[in-house]
Amino acid sequence: MRPAIALTTVSRSYGRGDSAVRALGNVSLEFPAGSFTAIMGPSGSGKTTLLQCAAGLDRPDSGSVRVGELELTELSEKRLAQLRRREVGFVFQSFNLLPSLTAAQNVVLPLRLGGQRPKRGTARAALDRVGLGKRARHLPAELSGGQQQRVAIARALVAEPRVIFADEPTGALDTRSAREALALLRSLVDEDGRTIVMVTHDPVAAAVADRVVFLADGQVVDSMTAPRADAVAARMTALGA
Amino acid sequence: MLAIGLRTLRTRAGSFLGAFIMLAIVATVVASAGQLMASALRDPGPGRFARADLVVRAQSEVTLGRGEAQEIISVPRSARVSDATVTKLADLPGVERAVGDLSVPVSVSGRDAHVHGWPAAALTPYRLTEGRAPRMADEVVLDAGVAHGVHVGEAVRVVTPAGVRTLRMTGIVARQPLQSALFMTDRAARELSGGYDAVALTVAPGFDAQALRTRLGPGMEVLPRSEASAADAGNPRALAQEELFAVIGAGGGMTIFVAIFVVAGTITFITDRRRREIALLRAMGATPGQVRRMLLVETALVGLLAGAVGCGGALLLAGTLADALTNVGVAPEGFTVRPHWIAHVVGLVAGTLVALLASLVAVRRGLKVRPGEALVAAAVPQRRLGPVRAVLGLLALGGGVTLVIALSHDATAYAVLAALCFALGVATLSPLLLGHPAALLGRLIGADGASRFLAGAGLATGRFRVGAVAGPIALVVALAGAQVISIATAGEAVREVSAARVQADHVLVASSGGGLPPEIADRLGATGMVATEVFLLDRELSNGSSAWPAAGLDPETLDGTLDLDVRAGSLTDVRGDGIAVSTRLAEAGDVELGATLSARMADAGPRRLRVVAIYERALGMGDIVLPRALALEHATAPLDSAVFVRGHADVEFPTVERLTRADYFRALDSELEDGAQVQWVVAALMLLMAAMAVFNSGAMAAAERRPELVLARLAGATRGQITRAQTIEALATTAVGIVGGVAIVMASLAGIGNDAQAGTLVVPLGQTAFVLALGATLGLLGTLLPAALLGRARLTANAGLRE
Ligand SMILES: Nc1ncnc2c1ncn2[C@@H]1O[C@H](COP(=O)(O)OP(=O)(O)OP(=O)(O)O)[C@@H](O)[C@H]1O
Ligand SMILES: [Mg+2]
């Protein structure tokens, strides 16, 4: 099967001269369509950087990033923005929602940015799916952290993107909210056939994925299919995290 | 996207408030200026000529300079028209009636009025309500306002330029709301005036005014009824339009300059605080273009709203401003504001345009936000002085340096402008020029270790924040300081020169403030001085304008009254077309003894003048001395502005006020103060703007600094330590701002040694101390007040992790 996303020898450094930090060094990775991949690694190992490069939020210094047929490194800022509207969705650890828009307005934001007038009920249906149908008119400040996270997931659903990127989506959540959010993500893969790439520090969360990729010092050091939480935890301990 | 911008605006109304208020002030200023200008420019209306169809007068416009620098000045009273011209006009086909009109300034029982010829009464019309028309030279008709208390047949004493006349009142006409009027026989009035000011025509239907214009040529003007009152020399509105425009233009222009700068700081700050929001939008698929549009639409809307508020404000303020301008003598007596829609448009456009210009930097920064920033926690990035900002700052500093060097011969006049350039430059480069010194200072002062450490760290990492507050403080100190010192220096110079020039024991002036009939000086054999002006046409004079203040004097009378300190030639040759010029004019215009100058007189009449003497003591009098007869012939009002008397002055004359030499200098002082007031009216708005900026950036800085201090408290700092740290920061910031302002003042006055007019530099202690105290108070209040308010609001739980 064609991979939904393919990174080939991607490198990314921050800063210049002596203070330069090599966040990613020649990373090559494929994310098959319809798969759920967890990315793990010690703090500072380059997980967020990897996600940014794969999602077209940042440009690598060298290497190639392909999403479907498109080579991201060759696209203009404008085309990248358009790609983000249609092809990819995001769930971040925090500050997911625009504080001045209601939950429903946040959900349809990508459509709005694309100049579409969302059909009535679109936002409501997506919010219903994450169990927040009654909170459509609330502002983010009136929602709990877990609820905000689910609104972000609803937003990732609405544009029907092929790939969803999540950076520590459960990092700020209690165990129960985290479990609900993970179940939602899992159902997106199983029922809707989406591709998910998720950065996490939590072995239990990683165990929900089909595969775990381990990063250390900007390199892929290991990967594990059909992961189990205890095995993942053991591997992380070995990496020094 | 627009909807998103609008919603952001609603939820962030608070942070836009500062920008909004400042924009509203600018819009108010601009719209008020617009209202004033529109009122001044408004069709002057028919005035006294409501029954005339056309009014013909000699050319009133003087064109100075060429090309870009061209300037057209319209004089308040044009040259006289001869009898022959009236007859010629009356004989033209289509002209039914031609009436010569004139206005002679007189005073009747302490009240200023104008004498006209009786035939002109029908032009308005003034209708007799009592008595009959004047038939003899000593008969007069008064309007009901002037006649108050006098009965037909009684005598009235009228002070005319030709002396006091006792006339018999033969009738009363109904009063008109225009001006106070007296009517004499045409011949008697013409004897007083020396000719007609204008000719009013009644014409047959279908008369071709354009053909008349062509026929009369460029030496004459033909005014339609709607503008006819401009030809009435007795109409006070005809005066002082140029000065009014200059004052409004300078004040409005500089205020806009300051506003763009100040508002830019605010909007950039707001945009910086929204980086994460912008990053999130970008991550969600907003293109850079969409972000740009959102930011521009937001600021444009704020500007438009502020513009609307400003238009409202202008309706309230314009009247007050007009009164203020009238009080200081820039606007004519009775100047009123009639609202005009164009001023509203100007206000709206000004608000929006200033907002958009101010947001350019912010938008540039907003566009640099990478979408990836949405994923990382750090919100405000390390700030660097961008190249655009650096270049703008250097440009402003360079402008200041250029002003100081290139215009050093006129240093006092340009000191405030130079200070403005320097201050804007310093404020633009403030993280560098003010931030570093503040950090250094913060490390030196402070009571106990912990708060000193906190303050030092805050000042060192927050150079942008500190600069943003210290910049406006420097601006306030620089503008006010430069103004105080340059006004004092210029005033002192006028005082010194006048004291050396005036040797008379007594000076006679008009108690009403107008002028004295020339007859008084003639009778006393004293020195009558006619204050007028001369336009020099063919000299490139570097002071920017070729309108020179001039004095009409009789050289034979100067002995023991005025000593002009003649450097070349002789004042006795000042007669006919011989004139004397000041050394300043001689240098500026490269004029030598014997040179012939092509000039226009105060009534726009052309004249060739020969330079026969060069003198030194011009300040406070004028740079050109004309023969008095020539000056009287062309002056707007043929009167002496002062009469200088040697020895005892025995005059029994109504309206004359006799001053001793000391009194005269005291009167001069209060005149200088009036002049200073005009400059303060102009500066007040700018200072208000800058003071607002101190508070605004103080509030922004406090908001930015708060999370850090809250974290410090969570980490165990006591409330006292935090307060002390904030105080140290405030003190360091204010001190640096004040020192910066003082340095700017010194830089902008650096060229004063080259200013021949300036004399010695005068630093008035009281006012200077006041300026420094003002800077200190503003600085400390502006930094500590917002900090205190914010600190009290919610110091406990929220450590500022969320937006
Ligand atoms: N904007 C930046 N400027 C400079 N260095 C950066 C920047 N972003 C990341 N880095 C550096 O790059 C390296 C990788 O960072 P990245 O954020 O990808 O790590 P991470 O694996 O996501 O860590 P964490 O688990 O703590 O989120 C780190 O050493 C980090 O300090
Ligand atoms: Mg990370």
Q: Specify whether B89 is located in the same domain as B231.
A: yes
Residue B577 falls inside a structural domain: yes
Burial class from Cβ neighbours inside 10 Å (0-12, 13-18, 19+) for residue B582 reads buried
Q: Specify whether B617 is located in the same domain as B702.
A: no
The answer on pLDDT for B74 being more than 90 is no
What stretch of H or E contains B464?
A: helix B463-501
Facing residue for A58 by CB, picked from B289, B370, B802: B370
Least confident of B51-55, B540-544, B780-784: B540-544
Nearest-by-CA chain A residue for B282: A81
Ligand number, closest to the Cα atom of A54: 1
B32 or B324: which carries more pLDDT confidence?
B32
Pick the residue whose CA is nearest to atom 26 on ligand 1: A43
Percent residues over pLDDT 90 in chain A? 22
Q: What is the pLDDT of residues B15-70, one digit of tens each?
A: 788 788 888 988 888 888 888 888 777 766 777 888 889 999 988 887 776 666 66
Q: Domain range holding B475?
A: 385-501+670-798
Ligand number, closest to the Cα atom of A39: 1
Pocket of ligand 1 (CB under 6 A): A 14-15, 21, 23, 41, 43-49
Neighbours of ion ligand 2 (CB under 5 A): A 48
Q: Specify whether B62 is located in the same domain as B167.
A: yes
Mean pLDDT of chain B: 83
Q: Does B8 contact chain A (CB < 8 Å)?
A: yes
DSSP assignment of B305-327 equals HHHHHHHHHHHHHHHHHHHHHHH
Q: What is the 3-state secondary structure (H, E, C) of B663-709?
A: HHHHHHHHHHHHHHHHHHHHHHHHHHHHHHHHHHHHHHHHHHHHHHH
The count of domains in chain B is 4
Q: Specify whether B77 is located in the same domain as B169.
A: yes
pLDDT at position B116 is 93
Q: How far is the CA of B359 from the CAs of B29, B238, B430, B542, B620, in angstroms?
A: 20, 42, 19, 37, 46
Q: Specify whether B63 is located in the same domain as B179.
A: yes
Least confident of A97-101, B711-715, B771-775: B711-715
Is B474 within 8 Å of B258 (Cβ atoms)? no
Q: How far is the CA of B30 from the CAs of B244, B310, B424, B546, B760, in angstroms?
A: 14, 8, 20, 28, 37
- Chain A interface, best mutation among B375, B382, B798, B803, by max A CB count within 10 A: B375
Residue B252 falls inside a structural domain: yes
Write phi, then psi, for B156 (nearest 5 degrees): -125, 140
B235, B256, B289 — which closes off a domain? B235
The answer on pLDDT for B793 being more than 60 is no
SS3 B618: coil
Q: Specify whether B222 is located in the same domain as B92.
A: yes
Pick the residue whose CA is nearest to atom 7 on ligand 1: A14
Q: State the virtual CA torsion across B187, B192, B194, B199 in degrees, nearest 10.
A: -60
Percent residues over pLDDT 90 in chain B? 17
Q: What is the 3-state secondary structure (H, E, C) of B744-774?
A: HHHHHCHHHHHCCCCCCCCCCHHHHHHHHHH
The answer on pLDDT for B203 being more than 50 is yes
The strand pair at A195-199 and A163-167 is best described as: parallel
Q: Specify whether B88 is located in the same domain as B219.
A: yes
Name, in order, each residue with C-beta under 8 angstroms of B712's C-beta and a sequence gap of 6 or more: B454, B721, B722, B725
Residue B459 falls inside a structural domain: yes
Is A53 within 8 Å of A12 (Cβ atoms)? yes
Least confident of A30-44, B204-218, B279-293, B400-414: B400-414
SS3 A43: coil
Within 232-291 of B, beta carbons closer than 8 Å to A belong to 276-277, 280-290
Q: Which one, of B616, B557, B560, lies nearest residue B586 by Cα?
A: B616
Q: Which residue has 């309108």 as its token pair?
A: B547
Residue B663 falls inside a structural domain: no
pLDDT at position B541 is 56
Q: Specify whether B93 is located in the same domain as B116.
A: yes
Least confident of B376-385, B625-634, B646-655: B376-385
The answer on pLDDT for B802 being more than 50 is no
Q: pLDDT tier at B141 (50, 70, 90 boundaries)?
A: very high
Mean pLDDT of B348-375: 84
Q: Does A116 contact chain B (CB < 8 Å)?
A: no
Q: Specify whether B485 is located in the same domain as B582.
A: no
Is B186 within 8 Å of B100 (Cβ atoms)? yes
Instruction: Kindly determine whether residue B371 and residue A58, on different chains, have CB atoms separated by under 8 Å.
Output: yes
B221 or B10: which carries more pLDDT confidence?
B221
The CB density around residue B187, as the number of other CB atoms within 10 Å, is 11
Least confident of B67-71, B277-281, B645-649, B670-674: B67-71
B235, B257, B284 — which closes off a domain? B235
pLDDT at position B516 is 84
Q: Which one, of B731, B750, B751, lies nearest residue B739 by Cα?
A: B731
- Bridge partners (DSSP) listed for residue B553: B627
Q: pLDDT tier at B579 (50, 70, 90 boundaries)?
A: very high
Pick the residue whose CA is nearest to atom 14 on ligand 1: A46
Q: Specify whether B344 is located in the same domain as B413.
A: no
Residue B425 falls inside a structural domain: yes
The CB density around residue B649, as the number of other CB atoms within 10 Å, is 20
Chain B residues closer than 8 Å to A112 by CB: 1, 3-4
Chain A residues closer than 8 Å to B284 by CB: 84-85, 90, 109-110, 113, 155
B356, B380, B404 — which closes off a domain? B380
Instruction: Kindly determine whether residue A99 and residue B286, on different chains, have CB atoms separated by under 8 Å.
Output: no
Is B180 within 8 Å of B113 (Cβ atoms)? yes
- Chain A interface, best mutation among B6, B10, B284, B369, by max A CB count within 10 A: B284
- Chain B interface, best mutation among A65, A75, A80, A95, by max B CB count within 10 A: A95
Mean pLDDT of B692-717: 79
Burial class from Cβ neighbours inside 10 Å (0-12, 13-18, 19+) for residue B209 reads middle
Mean pLDDT of B222-236: 79
Q: Specify whether B471 is located in the same domain as B582.
A: no
Q: Specify whether B348 is located in the same domain as B358.
A: yes
Ligand 1 atom with the shortest distance to the CA of A201: 25
Mean pLDDT of A172-183: 84
Is B113 within 8 Å of B148 (Cβ atoms)? no
Residue B507 falls inside a structural domain: no
pTM: 0.75
What stretch of H or E contains B197?
A: none
pLDDT at position A8 is 92
Q: Which residue has 């319809």 as its token pair?
A: A34
